[in-house]
């Protein structure tokens, strides 16, 4: 940003502070002159006052640059570069690569608050040719949340070859977590994850189970979006009520050219601190109106829009899993 533009921006946005600051200096000067003693030469006094005034105004300008310009310009640029080059260790080394075949186009993207985060997604095919999709959000940040997420992904990859329904697999993951927690008591029982597990055949018939944010299904034929609710259990040893009856997996169907958007709560809970508003409904508006021919570009544009909304400061991991039916 050019210096002249920066100064104009400073004068435009911080003028009340500038006026109060300089009036305070003038007030202190006038008060000081009342107790002025002749042995101190007047030019020296005015030189000291002028130097102090310049120092105070320069300090205010530097603080303005630090608090206003850096988050909007430099930090925004940094996080966009990090996002575009995929600087997320979980995504680089653990999450599956984008996949396209004759039935589906599957793409995922994750931007973590830390290099290792609690968000995760997974997709793979079982021995019968069914497609399995998982997306989740482990509580907390950092390596502990990342390890918990990898344990879930590992269990999912193992259990899809032994079970037919998503809710059965979720129950078995919870059982495995209970067994592991009993074996290693130092594991915090408060750690948990929201998790959505889906199974689809080649014709677009989906089964799903798990507590997670609702899905957004774009119906190509009607050119409209449909909200698909979720229900099931937390991946936790303490979060699920013992009185809650197990529910069978729910279902929906995707037709040709339909697109399914699955996301963690980090996408719509990103907050703009200046105006105090969450991204919220902007997410649904974006998914409804954005061009959908190129999914990869759509994901890039969505994440860029969210980062702009936050001023370059995301407050949580955010992940997106997108599935197009052919």
| CATH number of the domain within which 189 lies | 3.60.40.10
- Report the pLDDT averaged over residues 69-90: 54
* Structural domain total, the chain: 2
Cα(106)–Cα(320) distance, integer angstroms: 11
Say yes or no: 129 and 20 in one domain. Answer: no
Q: What is the DSSP letter of 303?
A: H
Two tokens at 280?
A: 């919220």
> What pLDDT band is residue 79 in, cutting at 50, 70 and 90?
low
Say yes or no: 175 and 199 in one domain. Answer: yes
Say yes or no: 79 and 129 in one domain. Answer: no
- Whether 302 has a pLDDT exceeding 90, the answer reads yes
> What is the separation of C-alpha 316 from the centre of its chain, rounded to a whole number of angstroms?
5
Say yes or no: 39 and 161 in one domain. Answer: no
- Whether 83 has a pLDDT exceeding 60, the answer reads no
Contacts of 318 (CB under 8 A, 6+ apart): 110, 111, 119, 263, 264, 266, 267, 270, 303, 306
Say yes or no: 110 and 197 in one domain. Answer: yes
H or E stretch covering 150: helix 143-159
Say yes or no: 61 and 115 in one domain. Answer: no
What value does the mean pLDDT of the chain take?
85
Last residue of a domain, one of 54, 83, 112: 83
Question: DSSP states of 254-277 as a string?
Answer: --TT-EEEEE-TTTTS-EETTTTE
Last residue of a domain, one of 83, 117, 152: 83
**Lowest mean pLDDT, pick from 21-30, 32-41, 315-324:** 32-41
Q: What is the pLDDT of residues 168-196, one digit of tens each?
A: 999 999 999 999 999 998 888 889 999 99
Say yes or no: 46 and 136 in one domain. Answer: no
Last residue of a domain, one of 83, 104, 133: 83
Burial 178-198 (b: 16+ CB within 10 A, else e): eeebeeeeeeeeebbbbbbbb
- Structure confidence at residue 1 (pLDDT): 44
Range of the domain at 57: 3-83
Closest CA to 246 of 177, 179, 165: 165
Say yes or no: 168 and 235 in one domain. Answer: yes
Say yes or no: 76 and 145 in one domain. Answer: no
Say yes or no: 256 and 131 in one domain. Answer: yes
How many CA atoms, within 13 angstroms, populate the side-chain half-sphere of residue 123? 22
**What percent of the chain has a predicted confidence (pLDDT) above 90?**
53
Say yes or no: 79 and 97 in one domain. Answer: no
- Whether 118 has a pLDDT exceeding 60, the answer reads yes
Say yes or no: 263 and 124 in one domain. Answer: yes
Maximum Cα–Cα distance across the chain: 98
- Would strands 215-219 and 224-228 be described as parallel, antiparallel, or unpaired? antiparallel
- Report the pLDDT averaged over residues 251-264: 97
Two tokens at 178?
A: 């209970």
């Amino acid at each position: 940003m050019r210096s002249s533009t920066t100064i104009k921006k400073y004068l435009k946005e911080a003028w009340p502070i500038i006026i109060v600051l300089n009036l305070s200096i003038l007030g202190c000067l006038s008060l000081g002159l009342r107790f002025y003693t002749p042995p101190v030469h007047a030019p020296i006094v005015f030189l000291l006052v002028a130097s102090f005034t310049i120092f105070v105004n320069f300090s205010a300008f530097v603080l303005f640059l630090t608090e206003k310009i850096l988050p909007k310009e430099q930090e925004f640029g940094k996080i966009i570069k990090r996002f575009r080059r995929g600087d997320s260790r979980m995504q680089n080394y653990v999450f599956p690569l984008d996949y396209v075949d004759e039935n589906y186009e599957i793409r995922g993207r994750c931007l973590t608050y830390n290099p290792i985060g609690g968000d995760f997604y997974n997709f793979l095919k079982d021995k019968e040719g069914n497609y399995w999709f998982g997306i989740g959000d482990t509580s907390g940040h950092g390596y502990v949340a990342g390890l918990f997420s990898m344990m879930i992904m590992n269990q999912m990859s193992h259990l899809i070859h032994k079970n037919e329904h998503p809710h059965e697999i979720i129950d078995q993951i919870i059982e495995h977590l209970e067994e592991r927690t009993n074996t290693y008591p130092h594991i915090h029982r408060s750690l948990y994850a929201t998790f959505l597990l889906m199974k689809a055949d080649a014709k677009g018939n989906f089964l799903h189970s798990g507590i997670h944010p609702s899905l957004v299904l774009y119906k190509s034929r009607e050119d409209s979006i449909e909200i698909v609710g979720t229900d099931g259990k937390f991946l936790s040893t303490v979060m699920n009520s013992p009185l809650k009856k197990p529910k069978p997996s729910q279902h929906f169907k995707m037709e040709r050219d339909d697109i399914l958007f699955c996301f963690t709560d980090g996408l719509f809970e990103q907050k703009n601190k200046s105006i105090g508003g969450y991204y919220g409904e902007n997410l649904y508006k974006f998914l409804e109106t954005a061009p959908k021919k190129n999914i990869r570009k759509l994901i890039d544009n969505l994440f860029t829009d969210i980062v702009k909304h936050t001023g370059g400061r995301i407050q949580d991991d955010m992940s997106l899993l997108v599935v197009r039916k052919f």
